[in-house]
Amino acid sequence: MKVAVVGYPNVGKSSLVNRLTNSREAVVHERAGITRDRKEIATEWNGRRFTLIDTGGMDNEDPDPISGSIRDQAKAALADAQVALFVFDAKAGLRPGDDELADLLRRSRMPVVVAANKIDSVTDIPLAVEAHRLGFGEPMAVSAAQGLGTGDLLDRLVDLLPEDDEEIDETLIRLAVIGRPNVGKSSLVNRFVGSDRVIVSDVAGTTRDAIDLPLEIDGRKIVVVDTAGMRRQSKVSESVEYYTTLRSQRAAERADVALVVCDANDGVTQQDLRIADLAMTSGCATAIVLNKWDTAQMTEADLDHERAHVANKLRLRPKVLTASALTGRNMERLLKEVVALGDRMQGRIPTPELNRFIGEVVQARQPPAKQGHRLKLLYAAQIGERPPRFAIQVNSRQRVTRDYAYYVENKMRARFGMDGIPLIIDFNERKARRSEIRDDDRKSRGGHAR
């Protein structure tokens, strides 16, 4: 169930959403117009789960084309919601734009709750009375900054929501779309979902929130997260962009799969590699997408060079794929790769197959020896998923060298198709048997005698 939060610019909608969801998901700033796309944030109150849709401020008098897109996004949020939360600034009073929005809400025929925001003290409560003339019943006096009245507001919203029996799908794949500003992330997401769900503009930094979108391919449900562009820290001069980068990092942390979108005209830059490393560190299965392939002057030899460069720089060796959000080139291939990566993240490898693999690895390259004692790989099993985690029993943990551990990891990637998957391999020392201790002591004494 969804509640659309709408209102004039800079009336405190995002601050109120953060207060109601007990989070900092919505970007908040004193400058008007910071929220542009609509952003869905799940919350719970008195055992009821529902979603708040944070929208940009609606100002019908603003001629800016992006303002027009913001209005369209807010209207789409209303079409997708069951209840509307109309927020206005009680201290500034109702404005002409509020009357126009109220007219739009009356035509929607959905339940509407009016929140008179910025009621920061009891003496401010009479300021909410003005909203009676809108015709939506008793306005709720609230303060997003202080938290006053928010419990009563949540009670009212929950009472108006219809019952929802939707079950959580455990096979759901969460996809984060991340990358530098203006590389075409929003255009790529719009191609995925087949609609202008995310505002697309040539102006870098248009997307300022991480936006969650549902999608389905071949019966598999995917939630696509289009995140704000991430720039190098030295270039993050505005506080808005700083907080936006934090949202992008959080999106990667709660995703199963990440597509790192790059501009094919630039190739894979150092910042692209840093963003890919961030996704991998967050535990995401990762692939790199060279977008704008239709305009790139890159040959197959150049593409092979980029792939070799990525494999050399990134330990997880993610695939490098080409695409064009403008023409739709390779969109289906990208989505199938997302599903494949998601399946590998939550899949399991049978123990007998793992131990056959260990035997082949040891036969191809002998484990290292230290002080005359050789490392032995005794037994392997998978002990976790999302990301996949494996335990390999060894006779001595101290004999495991970094070089040989990387060798085992790379062989595992190649054998089981895990390029781009963050693997965790634990080398656990098995407690030595008494017979092995006696043999080691005998060898040690013999060595000293010589």
| Residue pLDDT, tens place only, 36-77 | 456 778 888 888 888 888 887 776 566 665 556 666 767 777
State both tokens at 235.
């270039």
Residue 30: pLDDT above 80? no
Identify the pLDDT of residue 448: 43
Count CA atoms closer than 13 A to 158's CA, side-chain side.
Answer: 14
Q: How far is Cα 69 from Cα 72, in angstroms, rounded to an integer? A: 5
For residues 84-96, give the mean pLDDT: 88
Q: What are the tens digits of pLDDT across the range 319-360?
A: 999 999 999 999 989 989 999 999 999 889 999 999 999 999
The amino acid occupying position 220 is R
pLDDT greater than 60 at residue 31: no
91-105, 226-240, 289-303 — most confident range: 289-303
Each residue's pLDDT tens digit, 383-436: 988 889 999 999 999 999 999 999 999 999 999 999 999 999 999 998 765 555
Backbone angles phi, psi at 17, to 5 degrees: -60, -45
What's the pLDDT score for residue 56?
Answer: 77
Q: Is the pLDDT of residue 447 over 50?
A: no
Least confident of 183-192, 265-274, 312-321, 338-347: 183-192
Instruction: Specify burial of residue 114 (Cβ count, 10 A radius: 0-12, 13-18, 19+).
Output: buried
C-alpha distances in angstroms, 260 versus 136, 228, 274, 321, 337? 45, 12, 10, 10, 13
Judge whether residue 208 has pLDDT over 60: no
Query: Once rounded to an integer, what is the mean pLDDT over residues 151-176?
Result: 79
Joined together, the tokens standing for residue 234 give: 């030295």
**DSSP state string for 341-364:** HHHHHH----HHHHHHHHHHHHHH
Contact 4, 87 (CB under 8 A): no
pLDDT band, residue 24 (cuts 50/70/90): low
pLDDT higher than 80, residue 116: yes
User: 247 near 197, Cβ under 8 Å?
Assistant: no
pLDDT at 230: 43
Q: What is the pLDDT of residue 168?
A: 53
